[in-house]
Amino acid sequence: MSLSLDATQLDRYSRHIIMDEIGPEGQARLLDGSVLVIGAGGLGAPVIEYLAAAGVGTIGVADDDIVERSNLQRQVIHTDENVGVPKADSAKQFVNRLNPDVTVETYETRVTPENVEELIDGYDVIVDASDNFPTRYLVNDAARLAGIPIAHGAIYKFEGQITTLVPDGPCYRCLFREAPEPGSVPDCATTGVLGVLPGTVGCIQATEAFKLLLGAGEPLEGRLLFYDAMDMTFETVPYQKDPDCPVCGDDPIDSIDHITYQDGCRVNITSEQ
């Protein structure tokens, strides 16, 4: 471990350090760690907040949106005065005020097949806090090729789906081979979303990111966690690696060059090589 903790850090992170499961070594590991958060919206906000508070040394924030007033009902790191500011910049301002130990790398861009490899390169963990199917499939595919784990979370009105995709476990396509047709699963702007829902789901994603960085606990691997805010129930459904999975099955892809991530939600894999 390249870092040693100074007196301020020993104070700031004392509630981590006092625990045997983390200790000064674990905290140093967090300070040395890097997490790329894709999306600084409802899910990304609590993820960024807790990663920063806990002293994750490098947080990447990829988002091409600007803060809108209608975001503030749930996207708790952004403020009224930042309406109109790029979300990546607003997130960076928030983190800088919270914890000077953290370096924020901002990527004010949409994640595309052209930039994804460069974007994720070198990160220890990716948190998928995006809001659309093409990005989710693209991030899954590229992260699998790069061997980077993903803490995945997605929300719908009062429900959340959370799972963790580790390099040797099942991937997102093992669970959902294809994206639904555009429009068949509406987005938050169309359906609305309970403001606190992404808080709960994002906090679970952040928890998974911490465990991956620390190499501690049992990741939510091969399990899809359903959260129902109205019933206040959590259910875990096991799922397996699919041998026919085009990305991680018996005949896996070796690049994303032949995959088309269309503007809508459908993701086509073309067969020509």
Partner 1 sequence: MDLTLRFFATFREIAGQKVVEKTYDDDLTIGGLLTALEAEYPEMQEELLIDGDIKPQINVLKNGREVLHMQGIDTQLEDGDTISLFPPVAGG
Supply 96's token pair.
């800088």
Supply 142's token pair.
């590229």
Please, which of residues 187-206 interact with partner 1 by CB under 8 A? 187-188, 191, 193, 198
Say if residues 245 and 176 touch (Cβ distance below 8 Å).
no
Binding residue (CB under 8 A) for partner 1 from 26, 41, 169, 219: 41
Q: Which region among 36-44, 54-62, 117-125, 251-259 touches partner 1 (by CB under 8 A)?
A: 36-44
Binding residue (CB under 8 A) for partner 1 from 240, 255, 260, 268: 240
Binding residue (CB under 8 A) for partner 1 from 64, 117, 178, 221: 178
Binding residue (CB under 8 A) for partner 1 from 26, 33, 42, 46: 42
Asked whether position 220 contacts partner 1 by CB under 8 A, the answer is no
Asked whether position 171 contacts partner 1 by CB under 8 A, the answer is no
> CA dihedral defined by 19, 20, 25, 28, rounded to 10 degrees?
-20
Collapsing DSSP to helix, strand or coil, 262 comes out as coil
Q: Is 174 annotated in the active site?
A: no
Supply 206's token pair.
């952040």
User: What is the rounded CA–CA span in Å between residue 164 and residue 220?
Assistant: 5
Size of interface with partner 1, in residues (CB under 8 A)? 41
| Least Å from the CB of residue 179 to partner 1 | 7
Asked whether position 99 contacts partner 1 by CB under 8 A, the answer is no
Asked whether position 107 contacts partner 1 by CB under 8 A, the answer is no
User: What is the rounded CA–CA span in Å between residue 19 and residue 49?
Assistant: 21
| Least Å from the CB of residue 108 to partner 1 | 17
Contacting residues for 122 by C-beta, under 8 A, at least 6 apart = 34
Say if residues 163 and 225 touch (Cβ distance below 8 Å).
yes
DSSP 221: B
The residues pairing with 230 across neighbouring beta strands, listed in sequence order, are none
Q: Catalytic residue numbers?
A: 188
Kindly list the residues in this chain that would bind partner 1 in the complex (CB under 8 A): 39, 41-44, 129-133, 136, 153-157, 159, 161, 175-181, 184-185, 187-188, 191, 193, 198, 226, 228, 231, 237-240, 242, 265
